[in-house]
Each structure stands twice: as C-alpha cells, then as structure tokens.
C-alpha cells in the first residue's frame, strides 16, 4: 500500500487563510468554527485532513466544501491556478523543497506567459 501524496493544501495555514479572507474565527482548535467566507451567512467548520495533510472545510449553510485552496478559490471567485498565484502574491509560503520547487516552476511558467505585476 502506497502513501498518498502530500497536498499543496498542507502548506496553507487555515488560520492564516481565514484571516486573509476576513473570516472571524470562533475557535482556534480543530475542528474549528468560523464565519463562512463563501456565503458569509453560515459557520464553516474546519477539520484536519488526515489523508493528504492540511485541513478541509464544510459549510452547512451554502454546502461549500473542500480544502483550504478550494475555500480561497470559492471565496474569491477564482480558478485554482489563479488562487495559487494570488496566495503567493499575498505571502503564501510553501514548505519542503520539492513542493516549493513545484510551485516556483508553476509560477515561473505563468510569468513567462503573463508577468506578475
């Protein structure tokens, strides 16, 4: 049985992200509860992702669910690619040489197509 690949989501701190999404956190211990940054009506629940690392979310009000990168994408109305670029611009730092190299290579290709200003 092979070990699942570690997700880029594992490098996104849920507290850091919810702060950038201006979502008030009610609890800083997982499972956590915060204002849903997607619908702004319900309370999103944040859980630890024991399979690929990081955390995942679920909002019973709007039905939003997924990892932290997907949460940011839905809240900002962006694609996953655009979300990773925006996260990088606002200070998202990846850990681990392999993951960092993959993100930098990805962003490098995007810069060749359209420079990040």
Listed by start position, the domains of the chain span: 8-113
What does the pLDDT look like over 51-99, one tens digit per residue? Answer: 878 899 999 999 999 999 999 999 999 988 888 888 888 888 765 555 5
Q: What pLDDT, on a 0 to 100 scale, did the predictor assign at position 53?
A: 83
DSSP reduced 3-state for 35: strand
pLDDT, tens digit, for every residue of 6-36?
677 888 899 999 999 999 999 889 999 999 9
Ordered strands of the 43-48 beta sheet: 32-35, 43-48, 55-58, 65-67
């Amino acid at each position: 049985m092979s070990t699942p690949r570690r997700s880029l989501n594992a490098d996104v701190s849920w507290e850091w992200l919810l702060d950038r999404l201006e979502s008030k956190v009610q609890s800083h211990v997982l499972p956590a509860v915060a204002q849903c940054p997607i619908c702004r009506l319900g309370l999103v629940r944040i859980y630890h992702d024991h399979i690929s690392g990081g955390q995942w979310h679920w909002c019973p009000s709007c039905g939003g669910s997924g990892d932290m990168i997907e949460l940011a994408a839905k809240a900002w109305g962006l694609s996953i690619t655009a979300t990773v670029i925006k996260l990088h611009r606002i200070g998202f730092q990846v850990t681990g040489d392999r993951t960092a190299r993959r993100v930098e290579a990805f962003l490098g290709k995007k810069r060749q197509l359209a420079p990040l200003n």
